[in-house]
Amino acid sequence: MKQVNIAPCHAEIAAQIRHDIGQKLRALSPEKEFRAAIVTDRNVEKLYLADVQNSLAGAGIANVVFVVEPGENSKSFPTLEKLIDFLADQHFTRSDAVVALGGGIVGDLAGFAASTFLRGVRFFQMPTTLLAMVDSSIGGKTAVNLKAGKNLCGSFYQPEKIFADLETLATLPADTFADGAAEALKYGMICDEKLFALLGSGALQGDAEKIIARCIEIKATIVQGDTFDRGTRRLLNFGHTIGHAIEIASDFTVSHGHAVAIGMMEITRIAARHALCAAGTAEKLECALQSLHLPTENFYSVETMLETMLNDKKRHGDTLEFVIPKQVGKCELYPVAVHDLKRFLTK
């Protein structure tokens, strides 16, 4: 078992931790009587809900369950409203706890509900995808999607604790596992050359506990220094400006992690062409991505990318912010003026 305690992030990573969740919540709860509302999706429900419920029951914690359909459509206001109504119908109080059991979709939705219902009830994350373990459950961003774009409405609300059960990774489809590996590799590129090398050498299969704990530590450290996303936290967007454009251009048929992989590769090639990074950086990234079964080629034209980026709702005024690598293990923010964007992307 590994622990990360970098306030506001507190995480435990271990195989089979789902079987101990009852005792763990009990140990963290001053109230003798409290209930848990487990929020999960249909896939995770079939695999892991019973284990979590048994563990809660064993610790004398009553639970209710709210199940959503898998997919981004569930990260919506209609589903959020149903979930909040459900908590109200169950007469949930501030001493009761929302427990997100699933991937980033369930975590983002449940976190938003927990942050707003009664102006905030207790909240725990039990991430079951690699992406949720290394990324979305950490840092306190919650969200639903709007018609205007993904993640445009949400809050900052930290879970009291994150419990990552490594055993749940075994049932992930290979592509979904690879999505999480892309975000893990991102941390290596941003600030940890050793992590990058470990991931590229296939260590994620044998040493998941150590690697996931290191990823959480990195994200937690960055978030601690910039909880509200005003500065260094934006380094976490490495690969995301272009990745986001690919997701949109593909109408979200390219998954987030795969789009980020291509985005990291593209921006690194661009940085190399502009002589902004050390020689060999792009080649090292390409090898690592390939070994993690992630894509490295962008099939969209510069025109398509430009159009999508310029319409990005998160754009700041007349510049677009990229994160560029200086070398493996070191990145920096790099604003590009909109009028210079085409030259920047195509040179």
Are β-strands 330-337 and 319-327 bridged in parallel, bridged antiparallel, or unpaired? antiparallel
Can you give the C-alpha Rg of the chain in angstroms?
20
Q: Which residue has the tokens 């050359």?
A: 193
171, 221, 232, 308: which one contacts ligand NAD (CB under 6 A)? 171
Give the residue, chosen from 176, 221, 224, 291, that forms a contact with ligand NAD under the rule CB under 6 A.
176
Question: CA angle, corner 49, sides to 48 and 53, nearest 5?
Answer: 125
Nearest to 4 by CA among 203, 198, 158, 218: 218
Nearer to ligand NAD, 106 or 218 (CB): 106
Residues 102-131 binding ligand NAD (CB under 6 A) are 102-106, 108, 128-129, 131
Q: Which stretch binds ligand NAD (CB under 6 A): 52-60, 97-105, 258-266, 272-280?
A: 97-105
Give the span between the Cα atoms of 135 and 153, in whole angstroms.
19
**Considering only residues 22, 139, 188, 239, which one is a binding residue for ligand NAD as defined by CB under 6 A?**
139
Burial class (CB in 10 A: 0-12, 13-18, 19+), 213: buried
**Which residue in 223, 102, 112 sits closest to 168, CA to CA?**
102
What are the start-end ranges of the H helices in 148-250?
A: 174-191, 193-200, 203-206, 208-225, 240-249
Least separation in angstroms between residue 25's CB and ligand NAD is 20
Site for ligand NAD (CB under 6 A): which residue of 4, 29, 38, 41?
A: 41
For the CB of residue 37, give the shortest distance to ligand NAD in the complex, in Å: 18
Residue showing tokens 């896939």: 43
If one asks whether residue 135 binds ligand NAD (CB under 6 A), the answer comes out as yes
- 93 burial via Cβ count (<10 Å: 0-12, 13-18, 19+): middle
Site map 56..95 versus ligand NAD, x via CB under 6 A: --------------x-x--x--------------------
Which backbone phi and psi does 170 adopt, to 5 degrees?
Answer: -65, -25
Question: Quick check: 43 binds ligand NAD (CB under 6 A)?
Answer: yes
Q: Measured from the CB of residue 131, what is the shortest distance to ligand NAD in angstroms?
A: 4
State which residue, 259 or 320, has the beta carbon closest to ligand NAD. 259
Using CB under 6 A, count the residues that bind ligand NAD.
29
Spatial distance between the Cα atoms of 46 and 168, rounded to a whole number of angstroms:
12
Scanning residues 217 to 256, which ones bind ligand NAD (CB under 6 A)? 256
DSSP 298: -
Contact present, 59 and 70 (Cβ < 8 Å): no
By beta-carbon proximity to ligand NAD, the closer residue of 131 and 222 is 131
| CA gap 241, 258 in Å, rounded | 13
In whole angstroms, the minimum distance from the beta carbon of 307 to ligand NAD comes to 22
Nearest distance, CB of residue 339 and ligand NAD, angstroms: 30
Q: What is the C-alpha separation between 137 and 144, in angstroms, rounded?
A: 15
Q: Which is nearer to ligand NAD, 116 or 171 (CB)?
A: 171
Report how far residue 231's alpha carbon sits from residue 267's, in angstroms, rounded to the nearest whole number.
Answer: 20
Nearer to ligand NAD, 126 or 320 (CB): 126
Q: Which is closer to ligand NAD, CB of 8 or CB of 26?
A: 8
Interface residues with ligand NAD (CB under 6 A) are 41, 43-44, 47, 70, 72, 75, 102-106, 108, 128-129, 131-132, 135-136, 139, 141, 150-151, 168, 171-172, 176, 179, 256
